[in-house]
Amino acid sequence: MNGEELRTFLVSNNEKQAAEWDLIKKEFKPVTIDINGEQVYVFDMIFDLTITPIEDPIGISQQLPSAYVPMHVHHFIELIYVYQGQCTVAFQNRKLTIFEGEIVIIDKKTPHAVEGMTDTDIVIDIKLKHDYLSSSFLSRFTQKSIISQFLIDSLINNRSTNNYLYFPFKERSNIAGIMEHIMCEYFDKDFCSADMINSYLFILFTELIRHSNNTSSIKQSDSKQDAIALNFLKYIEDHYQNCNLTEMAGHFNYHPNYASSVLKKATGKSFKDLLQIQRLNKAALYLTNSNLPVAEIAEKVGYTSLSFFYKKFNEIFLQTPKEYREKNL
């Protein structure tokens, strides 16, 4: 299946009549629970357009315009992607309209319902039994970068605070192409399709991390502070060999005390700590990707004292540079 065939497939599906809510209730017998004074339905399984249960860890289906499911929760993460048009996702305390190319990820046990669709809107629903937003999974993306870790921490914190994440991507986003590949593999399964989907999901979440600091779930004041902090982190990554707080603050026309405060609030770490982490992360990369002597690596990443380098490396990695190299080659 290619992109044109996928579009034809989705447009054709949109003309189908969705299963009636009464039939869904009869088939799955969802219980109701009270959340914030409202009775909501609980679904603990995934099913497709024909309400056939899906046992796979990933279930992808099309949200038909004629479908109706009242406020409900799942025991898994749900990703809603607007392929064409728009839709509205209703939460208990607000409604969120998402447009073509945008994504909202809804956390487990978060009451919600999809509404406001017309016959021309095409909305894709991905249910993930595995938690692709756990800190252990997202840590795979860090690549020894203080920026990556900052974005991951922001993503996790916003998820915890808001129970959903909204990604208002711009036209130049790579998301549409990634989602197209995922759907083509899922709706037209072939050899190793499951592995391909998992790989594309890894790429998808990498894109989400890149854009996590732009989500509308972040308060405007926090978003501005995070943007400034991100600029500081980029500066540290680019100038870690001979970086100091005064020069960094001056580069952005801020007072050093303000720069220090912004970094501390955004990351929980001081400028000095972040600089050490960046230098040591670079040293770790040299250790596993080169045959350079430890003393030369220490000098390359900005340390004039070899003994101080050994001390700080052991504090972060809980092993000597030699032990780290031997374990990670």
Average pLDDT over residues 274-297: 91
107 and 65 in a common domain: yes
User: Which token pair is 218?
Assistant: 């972040």
187 and 134 in a common domain: yes
The answer to whether residue 73 scores a pLDDT higher than 80 is: yes
84 and 64 in a common domain: yes
Please name every residue paired with 41 in a beta bridge, in sequence order, or none if there are none: 32, 72
240 and 104 in a common domain: no
- pLDDT tens digits, residue range 182-212? 999 999 988 999 899 988 988 888 887 776 6
Average pLDDT over residues 11-32: 88
Percent of the chain with pLDDT over 90: 43
Q: 214, 248, 272: which is the final residue of a domain?
A: 214
- Overall domain count for the chain: 2
85 and 191 in a common domain: yes
Residue 81's Cβ-count burial label (10 Å; 0-12, 13-18, 19+) is buried
Average pLDDT over residues 302-307: 93
234 and 160 in a common domain: no
Say which CATH number the domain at 115 has.
Answer: 2.60.120.280
| C-beta of residue 193 within 8 angstroms of C-beta of residue 186 | yes
205 and 66 in a common domain: yes
When pLDDT is cut at 50, 70 and 90, the band that residue 132 belongs to is low
* Angle subtended at Cα 152 by Cα 147 and Cα 156, rounded to the nearest 5 degrees: 150
Average pLDDT over residues 226-243: 87
When pLDDT is cut at 50, 70 and 90, the band that residue 135 belongs to is low
137 and 22 in a common domain: yes
Q: 151, 179, 214: which is the final residue of a domain?
A: 214
User: Which token pair is 59?
Assistant: 């279930």
User: Which token pair is 106?
Assistant: 């809804």
- What is residue 71's predicted lDDT score, i.e. its pLDDT? 92
Say which CATH number the domain at 266 has.
Answer: 1.10.10.60
- pLDDT tens digits, residue range 142-172? 556 777 777 666 666 666 656 788 888 766 6
- What is residue 39's predicted lDDT score, i.e. its pLDDT? 92
- As a whole number of angstroms, the distance between CA 75 and CA 271 comes to 40
229 and 185 in a common domain: no
- As a whole number, the mean pLDDT across the chain is 85
- As a whole number of angstroms, the distance between CA 268 and CA 281 comes to 18
* Residue (of 45, 30, 35, 165) closest to 111 by Cα position: 35
Longest dimension (CA), the chain: 73
| C-beta of residue 88 within 8 angstroms of C-beta of residue 116 | yes
- What is residue 250's predicted lDDT score, i.e. its pLDDT? 94
201 and 274 in a common domain: no
227 and 186 in a common domain: no
* Residue (of 58, 32, 52, 51) closest to 43 by Cα position: 32
Percent of the chain with pLDDT over 70: 87
- What is residue 272's predicted lDDT score, i.e. its pLDDT? 92
Q: How would DSSP label each residue in 104-134?
A: EEE-TT--EEEE---TT-EEEEEEESS-TTS
- What is residue 215's predicted lDDT score, i.e. its pLDDT? 47
Average pLDDT over residues 5-25: 90
Average pLDDT over residues 212-239: 69
The backbone torsions φ and ψ at residue 280, rounded to the nearest 5 degrees and listed phi first, read -70, -35
- What is residue 85's predicted lDDT score, i.e. its pLDDT? 94
Instruction: Quote the domain boundaries for residue 72.
Output: 3-214
Residue 291's Cβ-count burial label (10 Å; 0-12, 13-18, 19+) is exposed
The answer to whether residue 277 scores a pLDDT higher than 70 is: yes
- pLDDT tens digits, residue range 81-108? 999 999 999 998 889 999 999 999 888 8
SS3 assignment for 133-188: CCHHHHHHHCCCCHHHHHHHHHHHHHHHHHCEEEECCCCCCCHHHHHHHHHHHHHC
145 and 40 in a common domain: yes
| Tokens 């045959």, located at residue | 291
- What is residue 219's predicted lDDT score, i.e. its pLDDT? 43
Average pLDDT over residues 302-321: 92
- As a whole number of angstroms, the distance between CA 88 and CA 113 comes to 8
- What is residue 123's predicted lDDT score, i.e. its pLDDT? 95
Q: 214, 232, 258: which is the final residue of a domain?
A: 214
- What is residue 33's predicted lDDT score, i.e. its pLDDT? 92
- As a whole number of angstroms, the distance between CA 258 and CA 138 comes to 30
- What is residue 162's predicted lDDT score, i.e. its pLDDT? 61
